[in-house]
């Protein structure tokens, strides 16, 4: 059975080592291949991660043995499937410091954010009654987000503002991509009903000050939505301790398949928020004219659910836990620092976001003077190195940095120091290839 | 470096991506269109100048990868002197070339002039949109003249 080496204890925060990483890498079938005549170096986990065999096996095993509809039917397979499905929820809940009824399955983080936005929208037109009063938005109310968000944590709020008449405001970032907390203090106040921000930036690797923002929001009575897409896969997350009201993340960025995501909400909020998608499996009594809804999480899980994906997500979490999320975080911190040091030393290469010496996640995006990101990515791909190019679904942030696109290298637990050195080396050769180095 | 990469980024292409023939918008265009490639943020405005049913020049401004910039530059060289019908035919031919997945087009490749150097792009499905950007803009300009 392919399984991470049990080199850890719960409190171990020593970084992984290159030797351990090379062992882990064997668990990932997709990493064992050549691309353009080179061993694949996968540095695009910020977009989506590769999957270990244990996760693929879990999904396959479900279909081979337990496939059945959950929460319906009285037969044995249905009971087994339901148990696995709900156990997966419990696994996720433990992983992020939540209770089981605070974990809602979504198809991805984007759907989770839309679920909150549409729930609030529905509350704002009177759905959910008095219980949903705290979700009501109207003219004069404000939604605060930031200049550094992924479009998934921006566009739904734009639409929500447009539907309700609320005003959308943005905390700006400074030249290094850090939130301007002086502006945040001024902006977040009694009009603020919701503050939505990312934990870790998918472009700069900046780690935002969650506690401080939560305090500001809660002092004014606003709800907090945390985009944990780039944190849940990479660092220990205790959502209850962070005291956020809602959080979202996607399974595919944390070793699980596509099609499964998680919405966390404090249970009293989830039970009061009007549903977004409606239909089967989320109701109590249905008449021809109206229906009653189950409490959370089921009230948000209309229709046939993503069962095999949820089970596979639990297997992914088991894998991450066995390796030790603290150790992964420490390792990626090492890789991130090395990336930034390496990139910063190259002439004509500008790192977007925090510079050398500032704590960051294990990713870095760069602008290469005179060479478009798309060309940089193509050049690196020729060396078997997979990076992300473009605006990474964060156009406003790129505009802030005065560029339309950048090249991002993002690491995960299966990347070695040598992988990082290879992308730095490749980056160093880009400008002369394209004839722009002096 | 692999042979494919050298084929994609031929020197002519790199030169055009820097020289950008036809760069700079003019106040008196007969048609103009703006195109965006949302996957990588390439953007381009391309103007068409016509006299007596024949293209007199193409001018443009934009920002993007070397392939999209070179393609616009090469189109600028090709277009002058073509009738509107001929221009449509060249666009169709270029599109066929781009979708040939490296196979090229058999006969009429001289009709594309130096733009034939972009043939290598057709092996890189993700880059075809970059190369097409200026040509799609010209197509939209021609449609405006019809309207
Ligand atoms: C910070 C951040 N938020 C949101 C998302 C959206 O995730 P998904 O596309 O899985 O819904 C991503 C992924 O690209 C991300 O990096």
**How close is the nearest chain A Cα to the Cα of B95, in Å?**
21
Residue A229 is among the residues annotated as catalytic for this protein? no
Q: Is residue A106 part of a domain?
A: yes
Q: Is the pLDDT score of A8 beyond 60?
A: no
Q: Domain residues for A225?
A: 60-321
User: What is the C-alpha separation between A418 and B141, in angstroms, rounded?
Assistant: 50
Q: How many domains, chain A? A: 2
**pLDDT confidence band for B4 (50 / 70 / 90):** confident
| Kind of pairing between the strands at B54-63 and B42-51 | antiparallel
Identify the pLDDT of residue B42: 86
Q: Is residue A6 part of a domain?
A: no
Residue B100: CB partners within 8 Å, gap ≥ 6?
B119, B122
Q: Is residue A278 part of a domain?
A: yes
**Residue among A36, A371, A390 whose CB faces B40 most closely:** A390
Q: What is the ipTM of this complex?
A: 0.88
Distance A42 CA to ligand 1 centre (A): 18
User: What CATH number did the domain enclosing A149 receive?
Assistant: 3.40.640.10
Identify the pLDDT of residue B147: 75
Instruction: Give yes or no for a contact between A272 and A106, defined as CB atoms under 8 angstroms apart.
Output: no
Sign of CA dihedral A411, A54, A226, A99: negative
Contact A372 B124 (CB under 8 A): no
Identify the pLDDT of residue A42: 98
> Which of A374, A377, A388, A403 would best serve as a mutation to test chain B binding (most B beta carbons within 10 A)?
A374
Identify the pLDDT of residue B102: 84
Contact A405 B40 (CB under 8 A): yes
Q: Is residue A158 part of a domain?
A: yes
Contacts of A391 in chain B (CB under 8 A): 40-41
Identify the pLDDT of residue A11: 65
User: What is the C-alpha separation between A230 and A144, in angstroms, rounded?
Assistant: 20
- Region A400-412 average pLDDT: 96
Same domain, A243 and A182: yes
A387 alpha carbon, distance to own chain's centre: 18
User: What is the C-alpha separation between A213 and A219, in angstroms, rounded?
Assistant: 10
Q: Is residue A12 part of a domain?
A: no
For A163, phi and psi rounded to 5 degrees? -75, -30
Residue finishing a domain among A259, A293, A321: A321
> Which of A35, A365, A375 would best serve as a mutation to test chain B binding (most B beta carbons within 10 A)?
A375
Contact A37 B1 (CB under 8 A): no
pLDDT digits (tens, 9 = 90+) for B80-135: 999 999 999 999 999 999 999 888 887 777 899 999 999 999 999 889 999 999 99
Q: Is residue A4 part of a domain?
A: no
- Region A389-408 average pLDDT: 94
Same domain, A82 and A40: no
Same domain, A351 and A403: yes
Instruction: Give yes or no for a contact between B129 and B65, defined as CB atoms under 8 angstroms apart.
Output: no
Same domain, A307 and A393: no
Identify the pLDDT of residue B106: 77
**pLDDT confidence band for B72 (50 / 70 / 90):** very high
Query: What residue ranges define each of the domains in chain B, with the CATH number in brackets?
Result: 3-146 (3.90.1010.10)
Residue finishing a domain among A287, A321, A355: A321
Q: Is residue A398 part of a domain?
A: yes
Same domain, A133 and A266: yes
First to last CA, chain B: 48
**pLDDT confidence band for A6 (50 / 70 / 90):** very low
Identify the pLDDT of residue A72: 79
**pLDDT confidence band for A1 (50 / 70 / 90):** very low
pLDDT digits (tens, 9 = 90+) for B27-48: 999 999 999 987 777 899 999 9
Q: What does chain B come to in residues?
A: 147
User: Of A302, A393, A429, A437, which residue is the catalytic one?
Assistant: A393
Average pLDDT, chain A: 95
Same domain, A200 and A136: yes
- Region A110-129 average pLDDT: 97
Among residues B121, B122, B15, the alpha carbon closest in space to that of B69 is found at: B15
User: What CATH number did the domain enclosing A33 receive?
Assistant: 3.90.1150.10
Contacts of B14 in chain A (CB under 8 A): 434-435
Q: Is the pLDDT score of A303 beyond 60?
A: yes
Tokens describing residue A414? 């299966």
Same domain, A231 and A248: yes
Q: Using omega within 30 degrees of 0 as the cis cutoff, is the peptide bond preceding A297 cis? A: yes
User: What is the C-alpha separation between A149 and B126, in angstroms, rounded?
Assistant: 26
pLDDT digits (tens, 9 = 90+) for A309-357: 999 999 999 999 999 999 999 999 999 999 999 999 999 999 999 999 9
User: What is the C-alpha separation between A428 and A127, in angstroms, rounded?
Assistant: 57
Same domain, A183 and A247: yes
Q: Which long-range contacts (CB under 8 A, 24 or more apart) does B93-97 make?
A: B94/B118, B94/B132, B94/B135, B95/B132, B95/B135, B97/B122
Same domain, A286 and A260: yes
**pLDDT confidence band for A438 (50 / 70 / 90):** low
Tokens describing residue A71? 């929460």
Contact B67 A375 (CB under 8 A): yes
Residue finishing a domain among A265, A292, A321: A321
Q: Is residue A9 part of a domain?
A: no
Is the shortest distance between the CB of A110 and ligand 1 below 6 Å?
yes
For A262, phi and psi rounded to 5 degrees? -130, 135
Same domain, A235 and A365: no
Lowest mean pLDDT among A3-7, A236-240, A291-295, A365-369: A3-7
Instruction: Tell me the pTM.
Output: 0.93
Residue by residue, what is the 3-state secondary structure of chain A? CCCCCCCCCCCCCCCCCHHHHHHHHCCCHHHCCEECCEECEECECCCCCCCCHHHHHHHHHHHHHHCCCCCCCCCHHHHHHHHHHHHHHHHHHHHCCCCHHHEEEECCHHHHHHHHHHHHHHHHCCCCHHHHHHHCCCCCCEEEEECCCCHHHCHHHHHHHHHHCCEEEEECECCCCCECHHHHHHHCCCCEEEEEEECECCCCCCECCHHHHHHHHHHCCCEEEEECCCCCCCCCCCHHHHCCCEEEEEHHHHCCCCCCEEEEECHHHHCCCCCCCCCCCCEEEECCCCEEECCCCHHHCCCCCCHHHHHHHHHHHHHHHHHCHHHHHHHHHHHHHHHHHHHHCCCCEEEECCCCCCCCCCEEEEEECCECHHHHHHHHHCCCEECEEECCCCHHHHHHCCCCCEEEEECCCCCCHHHHHHHHHHHHHHHHHCCCCC
pLDDT digits (tens, 9 = 90+) for A13-63: 899 999 999 999 999 999 999 999 999 999 999 999 999 999 999 999 999
Identify the pLDDT of residue B1: 65
**pLDDT confidence band for A302 (50 / 70 / 90):** very high
- In chain A, % of residues over pLDDT 90: 95
**pLDDT confidence band for A289 (50 / 70 / 90):** very high
A91 alpha carbon, distance to own chain's centre: 17
Same domain, A42 and A159: no
Same domain, A158 and A207: yes
């Amino acid at each position: 059975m392919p399984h991470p080496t049990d080199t850890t204890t719960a409190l171990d925060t020593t970084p992984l080592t290159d030797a351990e990483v090379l062992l882990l890498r064997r668990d990932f079938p997709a990493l064992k291949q050549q691309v353009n005549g080179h061993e694949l170096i996968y540095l695009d986990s910020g977009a989506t991660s590769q999957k270990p065999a244990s996760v693929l096996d879990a999904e396959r095993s479900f279909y081979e043995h337990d496939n059945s509809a959950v929460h319906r039917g009285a037969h044995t397979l249905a009971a087994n499937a339901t148990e696995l499905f709900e156990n997966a929820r419990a696994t996720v809940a433990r992983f992020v410091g939540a209770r089981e009824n605070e974990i809602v399955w979504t198809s991805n983080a984007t759907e989770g954010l839309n679920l909150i936005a549409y729930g609030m929208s529905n509350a704002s037109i009177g759905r959910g009654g008095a219980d949903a009063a705290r979700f009501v938005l109207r003219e004069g109310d404000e939604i605060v987000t930031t200049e550094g968000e992924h479009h998934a944590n921006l566009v739904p709020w734009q639409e929500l503002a447009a539907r309700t008449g609320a005003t959308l405001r943005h905390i700006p970032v400074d030249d290094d991509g850090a939130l301007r907390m002086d502006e945040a203090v001024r902006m977040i106040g009694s009009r603020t009903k919701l503050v939505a921000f990312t934990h870790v930036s998918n472009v700069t690797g900046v780690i935002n000050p969650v506690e401080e923002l939560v305090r500001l929001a809660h002092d004014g009575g606003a709800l907090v939505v945390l985009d944990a897409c780039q944190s849940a896969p990479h660092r220990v997350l205790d959502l209850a301790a962070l005291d956020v009201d809602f959080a979202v993340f996607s399974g595919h960025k944390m070793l699980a398949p596509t099609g499964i995501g998680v919405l966390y909400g404090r249970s009293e909020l989830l039970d009061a928020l009007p549903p977004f998608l409606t239909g089967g499996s989320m109701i109590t009594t249905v008449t021809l004219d109206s229906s009653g809804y189950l409490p959370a999480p089921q009230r948000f899980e209309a229709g046939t659910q993503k069962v095999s994906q949820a089970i596979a997500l639990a297997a992914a979490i088991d894998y991450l836990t066995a390796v030790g999320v603290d150790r992964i975080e420490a390792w990626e911190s090492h890789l991130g620092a090395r990336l930034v040091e390496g990139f910063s030393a190259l002439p004509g290469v500008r790192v977007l976001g925090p510079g050398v010496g500032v704590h960051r996640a294990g990713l870095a995006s760069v602008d290469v003077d005179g060479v478009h990101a798309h060309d940089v990515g193509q050049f690196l791909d020729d060396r078997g190195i997979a990076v992300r190019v473009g605006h990474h679904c964060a156009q406003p942030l790129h505009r802030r940095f005065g560029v339309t696109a950048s090249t991002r290298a993002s690491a995960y637990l299966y990347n070695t120091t040598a992988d990082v050195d290879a992308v730095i080396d490749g980056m160093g050769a880009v400008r002369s290839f394209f004839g722009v180095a002096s | 470096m692999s042979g494919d990469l050298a084929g994609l980024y031929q020197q002519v292409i790199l030169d055009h991506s820097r020289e950008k023939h036809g760069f700079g918008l003019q106040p008196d265009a007969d048609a103009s269109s703006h195109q965006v490639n949302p996957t990588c943020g390439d953007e381009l405005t391309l103007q068409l100048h016509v006299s007596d049913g024949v293209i007199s020049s193409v001018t443009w401004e934009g920002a993007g990868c070397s392939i999209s910039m070179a393609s616009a530059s090469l189109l600028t060289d090709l277009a002058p002197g073509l009738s509107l019908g001929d221009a449509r035919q060249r666009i169709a031919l270029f599109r066929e070339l781009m979708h040939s997945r490296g196979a090229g087009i058999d006969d009429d490749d001289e009709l594309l002039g130096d733009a034939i150097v972009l043939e290598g792009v057709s092996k890189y499905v993700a880059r075809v949109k970059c190369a097409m950007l200026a040509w799609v803009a010209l197509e939209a300009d021609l449609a405006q003249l019809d309207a």
